Structure 1
């Protein structure tokens, strides 16, 4: 029985070995041959643009992105001044490093410059509000300022009725309106509505007036005076008469109260 089993096992393994040898030697099937004709050949007719570089191409790449070698900028006189000032401050205050003192000096100078600009703007605005800005914008303003400031210094000694009459006869209506305004200030000071001071502005006088009705009247008359006098234009007869009557009425009111 055992012999028969051994024979059968031998025959079984022999068949498997032969099958593997046949699979190893079997060639794969060949693919069918593909035939091409001249019609299947396509020629690319597109032109190719040749790229060239000009001799001066480096001049086109001057942007900071193409600068690979950093060169420190040369110091100016302003830079040396800031360094000198920073060295002085380092002797007074304690800084972590020289750069910290230099940054402090830069910030300090910016603050000082801003304060100077603000102060100059303040002076200009104050001059305009006070109607002293004519020396900046007006023609022959220096001559007018000197001449009429002498009149204002002697406001309590002047005969304004006479001065106004002479101005009207000479056709100087603007000057006549100015005399009316100074006459009004004289009457208001004499009756203690305001305290006269050549350095004061219209706004200063306005705050001194207690009565609301008087303050409103003075505001309107100041507007008329500023518009006519500082406007530097001649007024017609109708406008002058209306303005003159308004000043006369107010002068009479402030004189009698």
Structure 2
């Protein structure tokens, strides 16, 4: 027990000796910084301005880029491009595998697409032709309604003379033919209706002498009015003479009756 007490005292003595002076100060005290290490170099550093400008113009160093909102047209193009890519993926799906059934499916898809395209074109042409037909029928009704109004006039010859004086022989021939139809209706040679054609009237005329003149006048009228042919004064005189001859024959038929 006494030996342990001596050992402890010896250990404490050694510690005091080391702390108070037994070792150099550098071993148990903090190092003293040299005065030179605390001095800072305040000389400004010069930078090459051309290098700085090159960095300013480089987009890779532009960290304040403005995000531009895409326009409606850009959004539509992006959407269209997305849909097209989806369509191609659907159409060509499985082709890379080289399976025979995938090629058969591709052919069927193409046939379906072609069929839909043909159907759309057929429907469009059907609709367009129907619209054209309706428009043409409407136009014919308008013209025939005007024709009916002209036939109700008491004296169409005054319109013939007026158009003839203005050298509008095409219009004069129209009034002349309507005057012929008027006389035929009044004599009950034909049953005039605005939806009938000149061929219908030809089949209703049973008198050969009347039918001959009417065939001539109706044919020239169709050429001139619907065919948009121009008439000179000599040709119009022939048509007028033939129309007057038909009306004279109509009067003779009445006298004979």
TM-score range, shorter chain: 0.3 to 0.5
Please identify the structure whose Cα radius of gyration is greater.
2
- TM-score w.r.t. structure 2 length? 0.46
- TM-score w.r.t. structure 1 length? 0.46
